[in-house]
């Protein structure tokens, strides 16, 4: 890259710093630091944070502190890198200095988050002078409790001989987990039932200790209601709270971007979760990208994406392309996607019927006959649409144009009455009654 006279950008430098830290390659890390200074990217907060982290993991804490002191703009991540690095160093001389960092952090009006607390709690272990801080309300009542902070607190009580308090805290953790699960279910239920305000009220309740599922449910709720910008803002808040995205979160935020036409934002998030958080591009995630590009009318770009993905495209991916091709009336792309679906699902009659209808709409009768012959050879037939309802523990099934039910006459009469009422109310002026 350098021999080609191509200058690295902030993403390249932060990535190389991370690689150097993982390998413990201090010399390479110093080279990256020097390159960052020469290109001016050392002033970028993300780059500076990654360089600090590299020095900490390589045991060069003086250089890490020097980078920190020279930063013009610091965020919570900057403080967390330094605090975590000193906390896990194993050097007893760094303990007091770490607590001084915490005080300075608060003096700079940067609030400790879940990551900060999780880094500090091991320092309280066996240190009665700091154990009081560890058990204070600042930690016990923190809003972003996770399994790591709970475990550290319980372990701290055990190490200090307070087994009764450890058991009590463990029971509190179990009760709280039940409460969180209920709130998560409420967020999901309200969102799917159309009451986004109710879902938001549950999510924003200060008494709720949110976990990754809480954030994912609310993000998906915004997506269902076409509020992509709100979903992105909430996703950013989740990252700031120290919650890492998982596959479910990724699908939720990408779907939200797709429904709102936020293609560039969605692609940036996709790149971030793959490169920054190490999430593998699953079929579900890839289908979201195809749907997002397709909804925006970028069908050729969606096809190029399918060809480039590292996993074998499945029915969900090609199905997303089919749906978007139908929306935009691209018959050629529909046919291509249907043919791949038939290869992947040779026993699914719906694919054959759909491509047959496509050919019929284009008056390609020879192709229609060929598809029907294929269905006959494979002994496939389209399963008619079915709905059902349970009354008094008995299930009643209804198929398309089905009059086999003993009460079919009364049922159709009731449907006619409903349709007439709807017509009278001008709900749908083109709706015709059945006969």
Range list of H helices, 225-314: 228-240, 247-259, 263-275, 283-295, 299-308
Instruction: Give the whole-angstrom CA distance, residue 241 versus residue 275.
Output: 20
Please give the helix or strand (H or E) that residue 396 lies within, else none: strand 394-399
What are 55's two structure tokens? 């020095």
Instruction: Give the whole-angstrom CA distance, residue 397 versus residue 215.
Output: 38
Q: Classify each residue of 354-384 as buried b or exposed e, where b means 16 or more C-beta atoms within 10 Å of its C-beta.
A: bbbebbeeeebeebbeebeeebeeeebeeee
HEC sequence for 127-158: CHHHHHHHCCHHHHCCCCCCHHHHHHHHHHHH
Q: Which residues, 6+ apart, have CB-to-CB distance to 126 below 8 Å?
A: 159, 160
What are 10's two structure tokens? 């902030």
Question: CB–CB of 61/55 below 8 Å?
Answer: yes
pTM for this predicted structure: 0.52
Summarised one tens digit per residue, pLDDT across range 47-95 is 888 899 898 888 888 888 888 888 878 888 888 888 888 877 766 666 7
Summarised one tens digit per residue, pLDDT across range 26-55 is 888 888 888 888 878 778 888 888 899 898
DSSP string, 55-98: HHHTT-HHHHHHHHHH-SS--HHHHHHHHHHHHTT--TTHHHHH
Summarised one tens digit per residue, pLDDT across range 392-416 is 777 777 777 677 777 788 888 888 8
Detail the DSSP E strand segments found in 245-338.
none
Question: CB–CB of 261/296 below 8 Å?
Answer: yes
Question: CB–CB of 92/129 below 8 Å?
Answer: no
Strands 386-391 and 394-399: antiparallel
338 vs 174: which has the higher pLDDT: 338
In this prediction, residues 179-203 reach a mean pLDDT of 80
Check residue 274 and give its pLDDT: 92
Question: CB–CB of 153/144 below 8 Å?
Answer: no
Distances in Å between the Cα of 354 and the Cα atoms of 274, 357, 374, 395 are 35, 5, 13, 30
What are 409's two structure tokens? 């006459």
What are 93's two structure tokens? 């001389």
Instruction: Give the whole-angstrom CA distance, residue 407 versus residue 417.
Output: 16
**Domain covering 280-383 assigned CATH 1.10.260.40 in the classification:** no
What pLDDT band is residue 289 in, cutting at 50, 70 and 90? very high
Q: Where are the domains of the chain?
A: 280-383, 386-424
Place of tokens 């691209």: 330
Instruction: Give the whole-angstrom CA distance, residue 99 versus residue 120.
Output: 8
Summarised one tens digit per residue, pLDDT across range 223-238 is 999 999 999 999 999 9
């Amino acid at each position: 890259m350098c021999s080609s006279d191509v200058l690295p950008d902030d993403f390249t430098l932060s990535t190389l710093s991370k690689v150097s830290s993982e390998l413990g390659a201090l010399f390479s890390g110093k080279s990256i630091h020097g390159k960052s200074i020469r290109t001016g990217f050392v002033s970028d907060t993300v780059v500076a944070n990654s360089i600090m982290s590299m020095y900490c993991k390589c045991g060069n804490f003086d250089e890490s502190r020097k980078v920190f002191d020279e930063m013009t703009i610091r965020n919570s991540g900057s403080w967390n890198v330094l605090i975590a690095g000193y906390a896990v160093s194993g050097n007893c001389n760094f303990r007091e200095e770490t607590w001084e960092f915490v005080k300075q952090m608060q003096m700079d009006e940067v609030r400790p988050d879940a990551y900060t607390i999780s880094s500090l709690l091991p320092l309280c272990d066996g240190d009665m002078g700091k154990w009081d801080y560890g058990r204070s309300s600042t930690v016990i009542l923190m809003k972003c409790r996770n399994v790591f902070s709970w475990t550290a607190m319980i372990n701290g009580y055990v190490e200090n001989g307070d087994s009764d308090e450890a058991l009590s805290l463990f029971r509190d953790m179990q009760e709280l987990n039940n409460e969180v699960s209920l709130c998560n279910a409420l967020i999901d239920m309200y969102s799917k039932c159309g009451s986004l305000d109710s879902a938001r009220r549950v999510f924003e309740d200060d008494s709720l200790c949110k976990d990754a599922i809480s954030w994912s449910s609310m993000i998906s709720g915004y997506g269902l209601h076409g509020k992509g910008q709100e979903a992105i803002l909430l996703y950013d808040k989740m990252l700031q709270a120290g919650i890492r995205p998982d596959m479910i979160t990724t699908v939720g935020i990408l779907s939200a971007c797709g429904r709102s036409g936020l293609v560039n934002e969605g692609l940036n998030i996709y790149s971030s979760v793959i490169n920054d958080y190490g999430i593998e591009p699953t079929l579900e995630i890839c289908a979201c990208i195809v749907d997002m590009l397709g909804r925006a009318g970028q069908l050729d770009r969606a096809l190029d994406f399918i060809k480039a993905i590292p996993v074998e495209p499945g029915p969900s991916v090609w199905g997303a392309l089919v749906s978007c091709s139908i929306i935009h009336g691209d018959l050629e792309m529909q046919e291509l996607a249907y043919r791949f679906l038939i290869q992947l699902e040779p026993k699914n009659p719906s694919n054959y019927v759909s491509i047959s209808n496509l050919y019929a709409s284009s008056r390609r009768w020879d192709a229609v006959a060929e598809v029907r012959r294929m269905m006959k050879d494979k002994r496939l037939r389209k399963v008619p649409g079915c709905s059902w309802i349970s009354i008094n523990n008995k299930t009643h099934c209804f198929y398309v144009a089905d009059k086999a039910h003993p009460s079919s006459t009364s049922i159709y009469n009731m449907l006619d009455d409903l349709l007439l009422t709807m017509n009278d109310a001008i709900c749908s002026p083109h709706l015709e009654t059945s006969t």
